[in-house]
Amino acid sequence: MELELERIKWVAFCESLQGARLTFPFGKEASVMKLSDKMFALIHFHKGVLFVSAKCEPERAERLKEEYRSIVPGYHLNKTHWISLMYDGECDVPDELVKAILENSYQLIFAKLSKQKQNAVLFSNQD
């Protein structure tokens, strides 16, 4: 139950980002967070472990993987450009850093959107 609460917390955090939306292209087990039509986070369970995956600059990803046991190359994603945070009962990554990683992923995706799509995000109405 504790890991399910972690999943809910990170999905809710991602949904709070302007224009972000929750999708389920891989089934209800995998929460895919998108900005426009691009994924910026994948939050899912595999064999009792919660994975929170995000896009990351390769150099930053290497530093994070060296510093934190719970940060590994992107699970089922491009290992150069994605990292995964593993919650297997404990996670040595502070919540503030998880938020920063997810926000960074969001910004990386936002920067790659066309100006028209960026404007659609910026002017989207979040309730």
pLDDT, residue 109, reads 97
Are the beta carbons of 42 and 28 closer than 8 angstroms? no
Distance (Å, rounded) from C-alpha 87 to C-alpha 4? Answer: 10
Structure tokens at 85: 């945070």
Q: What's the angle, vertex CA 15, arms to CA 121 and CA 111, rounded to 5? A: 40
Per-10-residue mean pLDDT, the chain, length 127: 89 96 93 96 94 97 96 91 91 96 98 94 74
pLDDT, residue 1, reads 67
Sign of the C-alpha dihedral computed for residues 113, 115, 116 and 118 taken in this order: positive
Supply the angle between the helices 2-15 and 95-112 in degrees, to the nearest 10.
Answer: 40
Distance (Å, rounded) from C-alpha 29 to C-alpha 42? Answer: 10
Which CATH number applies to 2-117: 3.40.50.10540, 2.40.128.720, 2.30.30.280, 3.90.1150.30?
Answer: 3.90.1150.30
- Domain assignments of the chain as residue spans, ordered by start: 2-117
pLDDT, residue 125, reads 67
Are the beta carbons of 126 and 41 closer than 8 angstroms? no
pTM for the model: 0.93
